[in-house]
Amino acid sequence: MALTGESVLYPLAVGNRWTYKMSTGGNYTNSVVAVDSANPNLFTLHNTTTNANSFMRKDGDIYYTNAFDANVFHPYLKDDFTIGMNWAVQYTANGIVTDTVMTVTEVGISKEVEGKVYQNVTVVKGDSKFSMNGNVLPMLYSSEYFYAKGIGLFLTTTSNGDAHVLTDYVLN
């Protein structure tokens, strides 16, 4: 099975891949490497930076992923977002609890990145706060994720100035 076409924010088909350039140097690729034969809406994704797999599934119009926490599928995307929609993601890594509120800030816009114009773009902002042993740490962090329908994630920016820019992609 494949979840592709101009109406989806994250095209899922075996063989799809997206390569990103990091502002800190280097590149990485995210690829769809398998689909579960028993559950054709469950896809295995591979990231070359971590050399690890994660899973993404689509139930109805909502995408879920375990990329934040291997043991929990969190809501990730919807194909029909409206501005102001939000949801929470909480996970623990290395003893630090991360609470992130994801909010849709723009829908249906055009966005130019390094000379390429993407159409029908949805922007999701993630505002994170961190705690350890029940104590909130004195730092905030935010990320913005830019998705183009029919293409997927093409830009990620962060409050500390990092950027991950799509440089190449293959969609099946």
**Given this structure, which CATH class describes domain 17-167?**
mainly beta
> Whole-angstrom Cα distance, residue 101 to residue 87?
6
pLDDT the model gives residue 71: 87
Mean pLDDT of 1-19: 88
Tokens of 81: 């977002």
pLDDT digits (tens, 9 = 90+) for 104-156: 999 999 999 999 999 999 999 999 999 999 898 888 899 999 999 999 999 99
The end-to-end CA distance of the chain, in Å, is 11
pLDDT the model gives residue 94: 86
pLDDT band at 15 (very low <50, low <70, confident <90, very high): very high
pLDDT band at 2 (very low <50, low <70, confident <90, very high): low
pLDDT digits (tens, 9 = 90+) for 45-88: 999 999 999 999 999 889 999 998 888 999 999 888 999 999 99
pLDDT the model gives residue 1: 56
Domain ranges of the chain: 17-167
Contacts of 147 (CB under 8 A, 6+ apart): 9, 10, 77, 121, 122, 123, 124, 153, 154
pTM: 0.93
